[in-house]
């Protein structure tokens, strides 16, 4: 792995993932000035997902995984989610309130995934609207909006994400309850 050869630290990869999320947010907002910017969203979404996976893999490869490293990773993952959905919320034609509700449901989905761990359970990744799915739908919507010139589709994406996250929250709570009831 090239990152290991370069001695990249897991925290540096975490910070890079956050930086990519901020760039995605800025591109979403600035796409009103140049629709072609939307073509960068799929590439950056993939990069964000790759960095999200690599930080943990590096920590394991180095044998340097720490509890605080896990906290740092989770914290910057939430900041990343917030950055992306604030960028979406501020896009021209997007209902700001809808974007902020989506940001909240995304954060609650992530929170629900980790809260059981605080009480002796495990991290939950179950559900239909995790980070991978959200980034895939974001990338796909960016391409569709670019080719169709229909920016209203962003609002439908937000409704879809809110619904999917709400279902995911319920599924995760159910899984946590089952696990902690044993």
For 58-109, write each residue's pLDDT tens digit.
888 777 778 898 899 999 999 999 999 999 999 999 999 999 999 999 999 9
Per-residue pLDDT, averaged over 110-131, amounts to 94
Mean pLDDT rounded to a whole number for the chain: 93
Residue from 122, 126, 117 nearest 172 by CA: 126
At 166 the pLDDT is: 98
* 141 touches 154 (CB < 8 A): yes
Per-residue pLDDT, averaged over 155-166, amounts to 98
CA quadruple 77, 78, 82, 88: dihedral, nearest 10: 50
pLDDT band at 1 (very low <50, low <70, confident <90, very high): low
- Collapsing DSSP states into helix, strand and coil, what is residue 136? helix
- CA 111 – CA 164 distance, rounded (Å): 15
- Collapsing DSSP states into helix, strand and coil, what is residue 117? helix
The lowest-confidence range among 6-10, 17-21, 85-89, 133-137 is 6-10
At 57 the pLDDT is: 85
* 124 touches 175 (CB < 8 A): yes
Global pTM reads 0.93
- Helices within the chain (DSSP H only): 2-5, 10-30, 40-62, 67-89, 96-115, 131-148, 153-180
**Cα-only R_g, the chain:** 17
- Percentage, residues of the chain above pLDDT 90: 84
**What are the structural domains of the chain?**
2-180 (1.20.120.1760)
């Amino acid at each position: 792995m090239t990152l290991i050869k370069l001695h990249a630290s897991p925290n540096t990869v975490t910070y890079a993932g956050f930086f990519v999320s901020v760039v995605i947010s800025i591109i979403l907002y600035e796409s009103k000035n140049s629709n072609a910017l939307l073509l960068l969203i799929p590439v950056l979404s993939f990069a964000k997902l790759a960095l999200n996976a690599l930080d943990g893999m590096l920590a394991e490869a180095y044998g340097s995984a720490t509890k605080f490293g896990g906290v740092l990773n989770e914290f910057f993952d939430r900041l990343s989610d917030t950055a992306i959905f604030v960028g979406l919320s501020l896009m021209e034609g997007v209902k700001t309130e809808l974007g902020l509700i989506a940001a909240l449901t995304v954060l609650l989905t992530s929170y629900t995934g980790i809260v059981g761990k605080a009480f002796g359970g495990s991290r939950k990744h179950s559900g239909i609207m995790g980070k991978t799915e959200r980034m895939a739908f974001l990338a796909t919507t960016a391409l569709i909006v670019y080719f169709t010139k229909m920016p209203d589709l962003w609002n439908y994406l937000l409704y879809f994400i809110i619904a999917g996250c709400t279902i995911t929250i319920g599924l995760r709570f159910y899984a946590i309850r089952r696990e902690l009831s044993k």
